[in-house]
Amino acid sequence: MLENYKEISNAIIGEIKDLKGFFSSIQEKETVSSLDEIEKKLLENRFHFVVLGQFKRGKSTFINSIIGDTILPTSVIPLTSIITILKYGEKEQIKVHLNDGTVKDIRRDELKEWVTEEGNPRNEKNVKEVEILYPSEYLKDGICLIDTPGVGSIFENNTEMTYKYLPKIDAGIFLVSADPPISQSEIAFLKDVMKYVDKIFFLLNKIDYLSEDELNTSLSFTKQTIEKELGIDNITIYPISAKMALLGKINQDKEMLKKSRLEEFNKVLSEFLLNAKGHIVLKKALDSLKRILSEKEMALRLEEKAVSSPLELLEDKIRKFNEKMQEIRQDKEDTYYYFEGEIKRVIDILDRDLLRLKEKEIPRLLEYADRVAEEVKEKDISRYTKAIEEAIDKEIIRIFDEWIMKEEERLNEEYARVSKRFSQRTNEIIDAILDLSEDLFDIKIERVKTEEEIEKDSSFYYMLGEPPKFFGVDSAFDFFSKKFLPARFSKSFALRDLKKKIPEKVDKTCGRVRWDFMDRIRRSFMDFRWELNKKIEATEKNIVQAIDKAMELRKKSAEEVENAKREILDRLNKIQEARKRIEQIESKLPKEV
């Protein structure tokens, strides 16, 4: 699995290790640090592959078959109730993340107690998600396999939890089964999934139950149904037997594994990961390496040119360079002020959207409270008050769940616009520094453009399992539950008191949501600005260091100068050889899809 991706990734990592050795030998500590960062990003990149489908379609068995181990519990009843994420780890480790922020380490045989409806009914243990680290080659290159609760079961919370995870998906694997065929509820779910996911693989599971004719009929029916209902053409459905694939791997039965047809799908998946996910990850790493080598080559050529210049002429060039750099630095600072204003504008959009949300939803919630009160009017005062409060809280959570998903998309569009313009402006500033160096020192410098973007912070999502901390039923419940007043009056006062709290509850929730979004926006942009600023400073620093070295050499003897020139040429040759190897690696990348 992923042979091409691994081959190219390993080749890049090999080049990084060689370059770290070279730059360490010439005391280039900062360059070594930059190479460490590239290597870390390449190794740690994550791609969320989410397995989706109706309950009892075999999602957990499918993931087990991919891994080749029965790590996820399976059953004949609707089972998975918690989002479960499988990542690579040197050894097996299972972590339960609770909504209060605590993390529990558990054993595999304890997993059922946390992720199943039987062991954790309606998520009474308040689990946010479960993370499994596992030493699988499949997961080694940054793939995260995610098991979701099945939609359409009798457990409504499971369906809600899966829906809340949709915005985090990079690509999806949608399982239907040969028996029973695809249902209308699955079609409805697919339509929702396609709002968030660009790439979906369709798998027809449980083909071991069918004859060849039955399989062809089932594939044709499923394909036609999906294409007709979703309005898309030429989808491919991959038939598999997750059960046979798992048994084949566990028992090392190659014939059974072949019959499962899992390996056929794995080849398709491998190609996608290389062309889509892999292309982005590998291309970024290669571009970063080319940029570093280009900068180092520029610095060495500049040093070589400067050391050959008469001292008086060199000093004049340095003076002109420093004068012009003052203007470029001021231009950079002006750019930062401009983009800080752009970020403030994004936050203003958020504030206006929150205000519109409050203006729209508070009156509607007040009417909703009246309707609920009418529905529960026969309950005693304690249950009456509690029922209304719980209904209001649940409705507020529902409102904010839906709103945050839409606002997420809106703000991400603004992020993309701002980050693209900032990235372009950074490249322009770097070009200005390089133009200056070319003009002053009469050298040709290759330009390597790199596009940065503010990355989507997948850690921020408003989950049902992590609702805002509303007040409990305090004054109204405590006072009226003592039955000091007749029921009719006490219920009237309780309803009035609860309705008074609605604007405050909505306002507090808006405040929390605003803080979350603002914190995310500012942190993301500060990280983004820091990365781009490092590029500008690195360009300037390389030039200044080269000039300083040349000035030092001009003070040395003719023999020392000649030795230094030979050393410069030797380093240039090594950098050029490394660039050729990197270009050869890059040539193996397929065209971006």
Kindly report the CATH number assigned to the domain that includes residue 217: 3.40.50.300
Same domain for 227 and 315:
no
DSSP state at residue 149? P
DSSP state at residue 278? I
Same domain for 345 and 292:
no
Query: Range with the lowest mean pLDDT among 134-148, 273-287, 305-319, 499-513?
Result: 273-287
Distance (Å, whole) CA 201 – CA 170: 12
Query: Range with the lowest mean pLDDT among 76-90, 116-130, 463-477, 524-538?
Result: 463-477
Same domain for 486 and 419:
yes
Is the pLDDT confidence value at 95 over 50? yes
Query: Range with the lowest mean pLDDT among 268-282, 341-355, 500-514?
Result: 268-282
Confirm whether 121 is domain-assigned: yes
Query: Range with the lowest mean pLDDT among 56-60, 372-376, 579-583?
Result: 56-60
- pLDDT tier, 171 (very low <50, low <70, confident <90, very high otherwise): confident
Same domain for 432 and 560:
no
pLDDT number for residue 23: 92
What is the phi/psi pair of residue 108, to 5°?
-60, -40
Distance (Å, whole) CA 388 – CA 480: 14
> How many structural domains compose the chain?
3
Determine contact, residues 148/50, Cβ cutoff 8 Å: yes
Average pLDDT over residues 494-500: 87
pLDDT number for residue 152: 40
550 C-beta neighbours (distance < 10 Å), count? 25
pLDDT number for residue 434: 79
**Which domain range does residue 434 map to?**
309-554
CA atoms within 13 A on the CB side of 371: 9
- Beta-strand runs (E) in 230-278: 237-239
- Beta-strand runs (E) in 168-213: 171-177, 200-205
- Highest mean pLDDT out of 138-147, 268-277, 318-327, 455-464: 318-327
- pLDDT tier, 77 (very low <50, low <70, confident <90, very high otherwise): very low
Distance (Å, whole) CA 420 – CA 452: 7
DSSP state at residue 240? -
What is the phi/psi pair of residue 48, to 5°?
-85, 105
Same domain for 584 and 547:
no
What the block records as the tokens of 588 is 């193996």
Same domain for 328 and 316:
yes
Same domain for 298 and 380:
no
pLDDT number for residue 480: 38
Confirm whether 30 is domain-assigned: yes
Average pLDDT over residues 101-124: 84
- pLDDT tier, 590 (very low <50, low <70, confident <90, very high otherwise): low
Is the pLDDT confidence value at 460 over 60? no
pLDDT number for residue 433: 81
Same domain for 292 and 246:
no
Average pLDDT over residues 476-495: 57
The 10s digit of each residue's pLDDT in 175-218 is: 888 766 677 777 877 777 776 666 789 998 888 888 888 888 88
Average pLDDT over residues 147-171: 55
Same domain for 564 and 522:
no
Confirm whether 268 is domain-assigned: no
End-to-end Cα spacing for the chain: 20
Residue environment code for 491-506, b if the CB has 16+ CB neighbours within 10 A, otherwise e: bebbbebbbebbeebb
CA atoms within 13 A on the CB side of 30: 11
pLDDT number for residue 280: 67
Distance (Å, whole) CA 578 – CA 300: 15
- Mean pLDDT, the chain, rounded, equals 78
Average pLDDT over residues 1-21: 82
- For residue 320, the cross-strand partners are none
Same domain for 74 and 185:
yes
Determine contact, residues 102/154, Cβ cutoff 8 Å: no
Whole-prediction pTM value?
A: 0.47
Determine contact, residues 61/147, Cβ cutoff 8 Å: no
Distance (Å, whole) CA 9 – CA 15: 10
- Highest mean pLDDT out of 275-289, 386-400, 444-458: 386-400
